[in-house]
Amino acid sequence: MRKFKVFFLVVVGILFGGGVFGSGITLEASTFTPDPGTTVSLFVRGAPVGATFRWDLDGDGIFEHTTAEPQVTLSVSEGMKLVRVEVARDGKTLAQSALALVSDRRLGAARLVLSEGTSYLVTITVGGKTTLIAPGFVEDIPAGFAVEVVADGGAFWRRAEKLEVVWPVILDPGQTLTFTYRLSPPAGATFQFAGMVSAYVEGRRVEIPIAGVIHP
């Protein structure tokens, strides 16, 4: 990872793996940021004996597959794919969750979320599959939500209408950067996570969605 000097004219909007979902049950993926044309394994951890698993693997809102095993494997093409699972036993739904998989040959970013009761500890990890210049991300922050930066990983950041983060570095293939923040929503608020990761690759700006946990 190589640092360089940068000069910013900051304008709003310019800057731009598992999830816990109930009763100690978690949905995990072998990777959130696969290469196009590869396979990803999804795992449900902590489900009780006798549970069944209904899977929506194409993001259309319909559970196409039902398995007795807490695991499936799917092939991915370039772009974002939303996957969902519903865990049930004796006709009763125990939990549901969804993850975003984002397949790109140049870069990727994954979001992990840890519930802290009334707040969420969010870690964004950005990785390069080719050389990246000035990698960064933008994370949507709903109005009225409080944000506390816990570890900035050497990035420049600001909270405006969104959380805007950029690292003044050249990131070599295989290297990663992390940024952690705490999100505190108003009592009773419902929301989902959304954001975009970006970098310059061979002189062109590339922007793709952040993968990983999308529901708290």
Among 183, 59, 47, 56, which residue's Cα sits nearest to residue 113? 183
Helix (H) or strand (E) holding 212: strand 211-213
Write down which residue in 103, 132, 147 finishes a domain.
Answer: 103
* Model confidence pLDDT, tens digit, residues 36-57: 999 999 999 999 999 999 999 9
- Residues 29 and 91 grouped into a single domain: yes
Domain total in the chain: 2
Q: What is the pLDDT of residue 18?
A: 54
Enumerate the H helices of 36-107 as residue ranges. Answer: none
pLDDT recorded at residue 2: 61
- End position of a domain, from candidates 103, 138, 164: 103
Same domain membership, residue 206 and residue 177: yes
109-164 per-position pLDDT tens digit: 999 999 999 999 999 999 999 999 999 999 999 999 999 999 999 999 999 889 99
The answer on 205 and 149 residing in a single domain is yes
73 and 122 co-located in one domain: no
The tens digit of pLDDT for each residue in 150-187 reads 999 999 999 988 999 999 999 999 999 999 999 999 99
Domain that holds residue 26: 19-103
Single out the residue of 74, 75, 71 nearest to residue 85, CA to CA.
Answer: 71
Cβ-proximal residues to 171 (8 Å cutoff; 6+ apart), any chain: 1, 126, 128, 131, 132, 133, 135, 177, 199
133 C-beta neighbours (distance < 10 Å), count? 19
- Other CB atoms within 10 A of residue 185 CB: 17
Q: 89 and 166, same structural domain?
A: no
Residue at 3 is within a domain: no
Q: How far apart are CA 91 and CA 87, in angstroms?
A: 10
Residues 6 or more apart whose Cβ sits within 8 Å of residue 117: none
CA distance 26 to 108: 22
Is 8 within a domain?
Answer: no
Q: Residues 113, 76: one domain? A: no
Q: What is the CATH number of the domain that holds 203?
A: 2.60.40.290
The answer on pLDDT for 4 being more than 80 is: no
What is the bridge-based pairing of β-strands 146-151 and 176-184?
antiparallel
Tokens of residue 127, six digits:
């990785």
pLDDT tens digits along 62-91: 999 999 999 999 999 999 999 999 999 998
Residue 202 within any structural domain of the chain: yes
202 and 141 co-located in one domain: yes
Pair 181, 94 in one domain = no
